[in-house]
Amino acid sequence: MLRNIRRATLQVLRSCGMSRLVANSRWRQQRLLILCYHGVSQEDEHLWRPNLYMEPTVLRQRLEILQRGKYDVLPLNQALEQLRARNLPPRSVVITFDDGMCDFYHHAYPLVKSCGFPVTVYQTTYYSDFQKPVFNLVCSYMLWKRRGSLLNKGAELGLKPPLDLSTESSREKIVLQLMDDAEARHLSGGEKDVLAARLASALEIDYQDLLRKRLLHVMNQQEISELAAAGVDFQLHAHRHRTPMDEASFRKEIHENRQRLRSLTNSDPVHFCYPSGEYHWQFLPWLEAENVISATTCNPGLATPGTHPLLLPRFVDTSARSAIEFEGWLDGVSALLAFQRAAKPE
């Protein structure tokens, strides 16, 4: 209901030319919109997680809107420098992708490249070294594939009934059980993958086929190097996609992530994105100690020259957003009207 009212209001503002006035205003020129994307579907991932995946056709439409509306898509580093110097061009935008999944290589990058837009990838690196599907994601995806049924062979995997696959929350409870069990038993990446393969077998899913297609895989080292050489900007997203609450472990995540990116890209990453959008005040001095100069959240908003550089907002664009909502954020109307709804971080 609220969403329909929001869309109708944005439509009216667009029709009467108000959106364009805001887009070309001095107010908007002093602000930067950082777009956040995650995965682009290879198959049906957007139906499983619409807040995480979008179809390639939707991404193409978004990029066409950026071209048609003559938004100024800037490289992240340059945009942040110009934001501080208060000399951004009109309608400035930055495009970022989180995680660096292999669907970025195959589906998203070719589209972004065809538009000539610069792009930043916040790359997590553990699963880049270890070329298997991301454990929690692949478990969740496979359970979704068998949604509506019961997992009869769950006890063989150490799972406690009821193993109802009918709702998202009941499926996520099973994923949590699997993750807790893996952590309690200190399973290695390889052992977790064996567990995922056993779950696939219990669900009668062809796990080898999933591996062949590299569904839910992070880009491998060769793909990262190739894209870095082609001009993609790779930045920090924690080695194991986590932000521990103690300083030594937190900084180790940054350090390991940076080490790998340095060797793969021949550049020194200094921009960070909080995994799952989760941040705490104590992270800020730890990031500064690691010479990180910017960090992005999943809080919706436009960045201003006064925004803390380690707490930069972003608009998380998903399949659930309409084109009119997307344009509302590009123009600045959505932020101006305080249509700020907490984006669900992934």
> Which is nearer to Zn ion, 98 or 331 (by Cβ)?
98
As a whole number of angstroms, the distance between CA 126 and CA 61 comes to 32
Maximal C-alpha separation, the chain: 63
Radius of gyration of the chain (CA): 21
Stretch that binds Zn ion, among 50-58, 71-79, 90-98, 169-177 (CB under 5 A): 90-98
User: Could you tell me the CA-to-CA distances from 103 to 166, 213, 250 in Å, in that order?
Assistant: 28, 10, 28
Interface mask toward Zn ion for 266-305; x: CB under 5 A: ---------x------------------------------
User: Site for Zn ion (CB under 5 A): which residue of 46, 94, 97, 98?
Assistant: 98
The residue number whose beta carbon is nearest to Zn ion equals 98
CB atoms within 10 A of CB 136: 18
Contact flag: residue 253 with Zn ion (CB under 5 A): no
Instruction: Kindly state the smallest distance separating residue 342's Cβ from Zn ion, in Å.
Output: 17
Instruction: Kindly state the smallest distance separating residue 153's Cβ from Zn ion, in Å.
Output: 31
Using DSSP's 3-state secondary structure scheme, residue 90 falls into coil
User: Could you tell me the CA-to-CA distances from 144 to 141, 150, 168, 201, 315 in Å, in that order?
Assistant: 5, 12, 8, 15, 27
What is the total count of residues that contact Zn ion (CB under 5 A)? 3
Contact flag: residue 317 with Zn ion (CB under 5 A): no
Instruction: Write phi, then psi, for 149 (nearest 5 degrees).
Output: -105, 180
> Which is nearer to Zn ion, 97 or 207 (by Cβ)?
97
Stretch that binds Zn ion, among 23-31, 99-107, 173-181, 260-268 (CB under 5 A): 99-107
> Which is nearer to Zn ion, 98 or 317 (by Cβ)?
98
Residues numbered 28 to 67 that lie near Zn ion (CB under 5 A) are none
> Which is nearer to Zn ion, 98 or 233 (by Cβ)?
98
Instruction: Kindly state the smallest distance separating residue 98's Cβ from Zn ion, in Å.
Output: 4
Long-range contacts of 20-28 (CB under 8 A, 24+ apart): 20/331, 22/331, 22/332, 22/333, 22/336, 23/69, 23/90, 23/91, 23/330, 23/331, 23/332, 23/333, 24/90, 24/91, 25/332, 27/332, 27/336, 28/90, 28/91, 28/302, 28/331, 28/332
> Which is nearer to Zn ion, 99 or 331 (by Cβ)?
99
As a whole number of angstroms, the distance between CA 132 and CA 222 comes to 15
Stretch that binds Zn ion, among 22-30, 98-106, 136-144, 221-229 (CB under 5 A): 98-106
Instruction: Kindly state the smallest distance separating residue 318's Cβ from Zn ion, in Å.
Output: 14
Contact flag: residue 99 with Zn ion (CB under 5 A): yes
Say what angle helices 247-265 and 221-229 make with each other, to 10 degrees: 60
CA angle, residues 218, 40, 42, in degrees to nearest 5: 80
> Which is nearer to Zn ion, 99 or 317 (by Cβ)?
99
> Which is nearer to Zn ion, 159 or 218 (by Cβ)?
218
**Which DSSP helix (H) or strand (E) runs through 191?**
helix 189-202
Instruction: Kindly state the smallest distance separating residue 209's Cβ from Zn ion, in Å.
Output: 26
Instruction: Kindly state the smallest distance separating residue 337's Cβ from Zn ion, in Å.
Output: 29
Q: Which of 111, 92, 91 minimizes the C-alpha distance to 37? A: 111
Stretch that binds Zn ion, among 97-105, 196-204, 279-287, 323-331 (CB under 5 A): 97-105
Interacting residues with Zn ion (CB under 5 A): 98-99, 275
